Amino acid sequence: MEQRRTVYMDHAATTPVRQEVVEAMLPYFSERFGNPSSLYALAREAKEAVEEARGRVAAAIGGRPEEVFFTSGGTESDNWAVKGVAAALRKRGDHIITSAIEHHAVLHPCEALEKQGYRVTYLPVDEFGRVDPGAVEDAVTDRTILVSVMAANNEIGTVQPVAEIGRIAHDHGVLFHTDAVQAIGAYPVDVDGMGADLLALSAHKFGGPKGTGALYIRRGTRVATFMDGGAQEQGRRAGTENVPGIVGLGRAIELAVGEMPRSSARIAAMRDRMIRGILDAIPDTRLNGHPTERLPNNVNVAFRYVEGESILLLLDSLGIAASTGSACTSASLEPSHVLTACGLPPEHAHGSLRLTLGPGNTGDDAEYVLTVLPGVIERLRQM
């Protein structure tokens, strides 16, 4: 098999920083290097850039600028939301509801809270990875302080009925947090429509830089301060801002959300062609995740009796960058918590292949993967 250029199909893990974003960021490393906290012109310029980015993030998610707090990424935003609400509302209650297939940035803080005496309900999901909103209703008690369910899953791409879940949480006077890290730029995200009191996002998932994200906190929501120190981020997340990163986040979200209708439709068509092509060409293959309530860029398939890591190594040797199981699981040979929660049958449970498409992928990329993948799976099945 011929070796060719890299076909990057791991956009759920991270995305290349767009050229327009790099260009927007560059001056803030050099001539516009001021600290936004200082008072002179150079500093005011940096402050204005941060506030402009805040406005762009707010506009992209339907919030107000003063409800957007910059963080170091999705992990910090999720940690802040979960631990911050738990700390602020400790006297009111000690119960949190989340799902079994959240990202570890939510699950691990929940586990840490359990060690401190909080109670956490991990809602099951159906075979497609969907949370039943009725199960949220059943789980709420008078001690519940937070419901946290992700907008879309990073592994299998399943989109959750968050608007309904948010409504149920509010009917019971409970705060609702959603991890929208994979949703931004994929489909419209609106904090009011979703009923989100807290929403996490991360720049490197939509053409922005790594190490930059935001937490939306609805006005009046009680959340403990994340970082003590200076007055940055209304004194709730202190520390000199990552000005170039924030500028990059602002530019990236503006571009990603602006281009979404066209780019998502194109990417979804490519996704559907790939899913059909893989299922048609390779016997004993299972599509993971929801068939329709699904991120436009997500292809996740399990091949009976084939182990995920071996597929990745062979694909890598053919210039294809993809992912298996839970990209964020440390012991990667363990079945992913997401696939396990979906009840994947044991003969499929050794890992899956996740191909996540992005704006840079072409029809040629899809055809190349469809051409080489059947041979890769056949080789592994014969071993």
254 binds ligand PMP (CB under 6 A): no
Q: Contact with ligand PMP (CB under 6 A): which of 154, 158, 232, 288?
A: 154
Which residues have a Cβ under 8 Å from the Cβ of 222 and sit 6 or more positions away? 85, 88, 89
Binding region for ligand PMP (CB under 6 A) out of 70-78, 267-275, 288-296, 317-325 = 70-78
Binding region for ligand PMP (CB under 6 A) out of 56-64, 69-77, 126-134, 165-173 = 69-77
Residue count of the chain = 383
Q: Contact with ligand PMP (CB under 6 A): which of 121, 182, 326, 361?
A: 182
H or E segment and range at residue 148: strand 144-148
Number of residues that bind ligand PMP (CB under 6 A): 14
Our answer to whether residue 110 is catalytic in this structure is no
Residue 382 Cβ, how far from ligand PMP at the closest point, in Å? 34
Residue 155 Cβ, how far from ligand PMP at the closest point, in Å? 8
233 binds ligand PMP (CB under 6 A): no
Residue among 222, 248, 203, 212 nearest 53 (CA): 248
At CB < 8 A and 24+ separation, what contacts does 313-317 make?
314/376, 314/379, 314/380, 315/353, 315/369, 315/372, 315/373, 315/376, 317/3
Contacting ligand PMP within 101-140 (CB under 6 A):
103, 105
Residue 161 Cβ, how far from ligand PMP at the closest point, in Å? 17
Which residues have a Cβ under 8 Å from the Cβ of 97 and sit 6 or more positions away? 120, 121, 123, 136, 139, 140, 144, 146, 147, 148, 174
State the amino acid at position 270 in one-letter form. M
147 binds ligand PMP (CB under 6 A): no
Residue tagged active-site, from 42, 328, 370, 380: 328
CB nearer ligand PMP, residue 181 or residue 253: 181
Q: Contact with ligand PMP (CB under 6 A): which of 98, 121, 202, 324?
A: 202
Residue 320: Cβ within 10 Å count? 24
CB nearer ligand PMP, residue 153 or residue 264: 153
Residue 179 Cβ, how far from ligand PMP at the closest point, in Å? 5
Q: How many degrees, rounded to 5, is the angle at CA 209 between CA 208 and CA 215?
A: 80
100 binds ligand PMP (CB under 6 A): no
> How far apart are alpha carbons 201 and 185 in whole angstroms?
11
209 binds ligand PMP (CB under 6 A): no
Query: Is the separation of the CB atoms in 84 and 224 below 8 Å?
Result: yes
H or E segment and range at residue 354: strand 353-356
Residue ranges of the binding site: 74-75, 154, 182, 202-204, 240, 328
CA atoms within 13 A on the CB side of 157: 27
Site of interaction with ligand PMP (CB under 6 A): 73-75, 78, 103, 105, 150, 154, 179, 181-182, 202, 213, 328
- Active-site residue numbers? 328
